[in-house]
A and B are shown apart, each in its own frame.
Chain A
Amino acid sequence: MSNKVFAKGLAAALAASVALVPLMASAGELVIESWRNDDIDIWNDQIIPAFNKEYPEIKVTFSPTPPTDYNALINAKFAGGTAGDLITCRPFDASLELYKQGNLAPLDDIAGMDNFSDVAKSAWQTDDGSVTFCLPMASVIHGFIYNKEAFEAAGVEVPKTRAEFYAALDKIKEEGSYIPMAMGTADQWEAATMGFQNIGPNYWKGEEGRKALIDGSQKFTDKPYVDTFAELASWASYLPDGYEAISYPDAQNLFSLGRAAVYPAGSWDISLFNSQAEFEFGAFPPPPAEGSDTCYISDHTDIALGLNAKSPNAAEAKVFLEWMTGSEFASLYSNALPGFFSLSNHKVEITDPVANEFVSWRQKCESTIRNSYQILSRGTPNLENELWNISAQVINGTVTPEEAGKAAESGLAKWYAPHQ
């Protein structure tokens, strides 16, 4: 090597590193921690500019980390004292624990907190409901997004019942030019979230079943849950080849490239498909059984924003939070992010037709949230993580629906008294 060049490089780097160390985030700049990395453009281009129009002196940075790393990272950052000022809150226990550890500040004194219903706030309150520690932002709704061209090609209508749904999938499969359903099990969580929690409420009757699981009057070995697993197992034949190795983004690509007919969705997928798909698509709720008079949907309180209790910019952060309780944010957020539905009581016009379709199910059907989130994921083994693994295995065909129910139940029984 040329020693001189090498030495010069070293000297330069050394000098640079010394200069770098004292550089820290300057005061007065709000950093928002989030797992919503898909939303970075919307925050940077719409939400933050809108806020700055009113408060130009407060600088806000949206700093997302990948969803799978988020929880571990935020814990580490709190431990290390490097967490941002505003913390995007997962619902229920993950955030409750952060509050208990003193990492999140109570937010009851924020003006405008009464713009949210008790149901909306319930996911970010202490068990007794006395303290709210995150400002509810949005919920997400599960359902199915479908490719209208694919449905036309196969000559099928939007299904109203479970039987129609599978008849349609069969027909698409037979016709052969589209993969009937785009999903994979490689990342595991889709199987649980877009599968189990999507179609399940129709079996366990939404809130009724969810509460029964918490008080112990229902078990995962009961019929509704085993039946949910059974329906999930039947998906295997409609999924693309090699679905075991297909990740969430793979599945999104399959659908947005127009190769698949149906996509088990979270409403948050809408914006991605809006930007990538070159065909028209629509949505339908998880179809209930033939002859059932009520439909149930998962309308999950998904995302909120909390305040880092040790934030040096607490005053500015509260300004931001207060602004978020207003109607401007509600409308901005719901429309900028079609598929995230504001939890505030403000009346919001949603312009996106597919998002509007999703939100309209709130009128037709009964809403519930994911059954593993409240209380039931407090112990080890963790129910949510168990459901990911089990649901993926059910689709992969490595466990039967009955075994899946038993596995989930026995995990819960290990630590949760009502199930012991």
Chain B
Amino acid sequence: MMTKNIRREDMSRAAIVHAILLTYTLVALYPIFLVIINAFKSRKGIFSAPMSLPNAETFSLEGFTKVLARSNFELFFFNSFTVTVVTIVIVLLLASMAAWALSEYKFPGNTWLALYLAVGIMVPIRLGSVSILNLIVELGLINTLTALILVYVAQGLPLAIFILTEFMHQIPKDLKEAARCDGVGEFKIFFAVILPLIRPAVATVAVFTMIPIWNDLWFPLILAPGDGKQTITLGIQQFIGQYVTDWNAVLASLSLAIIPILILYLIFSRQLIRGLTSGAVK
């Protein structure tokens, strides 16, 4: 009865569509899945039956025990988290301030300044690594998280300013006019009226700032490779370098690095798309 009114072509089309989507989802997830299941196996299990789930015979946590005992995972994770979160906060604050000034005030060179600040979207900051290293050394910031944060802020600002400027153009004129009529100062207008309004764009800016920072290997390798200052990516790279023949440890460390970021992502993925579709990026 129910199916009577469903078009046959629709059914077959839906089947094809879901087949395509499922296939690609499998392609995207299977490698990750494979690493995680094998992290819970003994060395024998990993090599003899790599594609099966761990069972009573092959189940083993030796990889995790080894990783947690011999590396400083919590510290790496904490370093990455600190660098990422502090950078995001600074980028959001400074970028929204600049975006506000660029979109709201008419001043000589407005367009040029906007262009100047946009150059960084297209030019990778890595090309300046040689001088960044010298600069950081001169500032005495080598091997500190501060060095990473400064560079990441500079790297994240251009795109954030660009996205937020576009977004601020959409803020209705009435809102700020009303505030001005009430005699509210320019700073207060920004912090009390404008900042709360850009929330939809925050998730988007945060994700686009976060992905490259969290995953970066280059600057941690150059600026803060020292003990105790490694980010998770560098820590993993070094740890795997040390235990490369020990697949239990390798797979366990990969899993430990993957799982937190995936959980974070699952929590925030809805905000991300909402931010993207709210017109912040076009």
Direct contact of A and B (CB under 8 A): yes
User: What is the interface of chain A, defined by CB distance below 8 A to chain B?
Assistant: 1, 3, 9-10, 13-14, 16-17, 20-21, 23, 25, 31, 37-38, 40, 61, 63-69, 73, 76-77, 79-82, 247-249, 252-253, 256-257, 272, 276
A69-B241 contact given A14-B86, A17-B149, A76-B225, CB 8 Å threshold: yes
Do B136 and A31 have beta carbons less than 8 Å apart? Answer: no
A76-B137 contact given A21-B145, A38-B242, A61-B227, CB 8 Å threshold: no
Which residues of chain A come closer than 8 Å to B136, judged between CB atoms?
Answer: 80
**Nearest chain A residue, comparing its CB with the CB of B85:** A13
Which residues of chain A come closer than 8 Å to B228, judged between CB atoms?
Answer: 23
CB 8 Å contact bits of B192-219 with A (1 = contact, 0 = none): 0000000100010000000000000000
Tell me which of B133, B223, B238 contacts A66 (CB under 8 A).
B238
**Nearest chain B residue, comparing its CB with the CB of A9:** B85
Do A37 and B242 have beta carbons less than 8 Å apart? Answer: yes
**Chain B: interface residue total (CB-CB under 8 A):** 38
A66-B242 contact given A13-B81, A17-B149, A253-B247, CB 8 Å threshold: yes
Do A81 and B137 have beta carbons less than 8 Å apart? Answer: yes
- Chain B CB count within 10 A is highest, among A3, A40, A61, A82, for A82
Which residues of chain A come closer than 8 Å to B271, judged between CB atoms?
Answer: 1
Which residues of chain A come closer than 8 Å to B51, judged between CB atoms?
Answer: none
**Nearest chain A residue, comparing its CB with the CB of B149:** A17
**Nearest chain B residue, comparing its CB with the CB of A70:** B241
Which residues of chain A come closer than 8 Å to B70, judged between CB atoms?
Answer: 40
**Nearest chain A residue, comparing its CB with the CB of B134:** A79
Tell me which of A20, A73, A80, A276 contacts B145 (CB under 8 A).
A20
Do B145 and A63 have beta carbons less than 8 Å apart? Answer: no
A329 to chain B, nearest CB (A): 23
B72 to chain A, nearest CB (A): 12
A17-B145 contact given A1-B203, A79-B137, A257-B47, CB 8 Å threshold: yes
Do A65 and B133 have beta carbons less than 8 Å apart? Answer: no
User: What is the interface of chain B, defined by CB distance below 8 A to chain A?
Assistant: 47, 70, 78, 81-83, 85-86, 89, 133, 136-137, 142-146, 149, 199, 203, 221-223, 225-228, 237-238, 241-245, 247, 267-268, 271
CA distance A80 to B147 in the complex (A): 12
B256 to chain A, nearest CB (A): 18
Do A13 and B241 have beta carbons less than 8 Å apart? Answer: no
B97 to chain A, nearest CB (A): 17
Tell me which of B199, B222, B227, B241 contacts A37 (CB under 8 A).
B241
26 A-B contact pairs sorted by A residue (CB < 8 Å): A1-B203, A9-B85, A13-B81, A13-B86, A14-B85, A14-B86, A17-B86, A17-B145, A20-B82, A21-B144, A21-B145, A21-B146, A23-B228, A25-B227, A37-B243, A40-B242, A64-B242, A65-B238, A65-B241, A67-B241, A68-B241, A73-B225, A79-B137, A82-B142, A249-B245, A272-B245
CA distance A65 to B85 in the complex (A): 27
**Nearest chain A residue, comparing its CB with the CB of B137:** A80
CA distance A80 to B78 in the complex (A): 24
CA distance A75 to B149 in the complex (A): 23
Do B133 and A79 have beta carbons less than 8 Å apart? Answer: yes
Which residues of chain A come closer than 8 Å to B243, judged between CB atoms?
Answer: 37
- Chain B CB count within 10 A is highest, among A16, A20, A38, A61, for A20
Which residues of chain B come closer than 8 Å to A68, judged between CB atoms?
Answer: 241
B201 to chain A, nearest CB (A): 13
B100 to chain A, nearest CB (A): 20
Which residues of chain A come closer than 8 Å to B226, judged between CB atoms?
Answer: 77, 82
Beyond the given pairs A17-B145, A80-B136, A249-B245, 4 more chain A to chain B contacts, judged by CB atoms under 8 angstroms and listed by A's residue number, are A1-B267, A1-B271, A25-B227, A79-B137
CA distance A234 to B133 in the complex (A): 46
CA distance A38 to B70 in the complex (A): 12
Which residues of chain B come closer than 8 Å to A23, judged between CB atoms?
Answer: 228
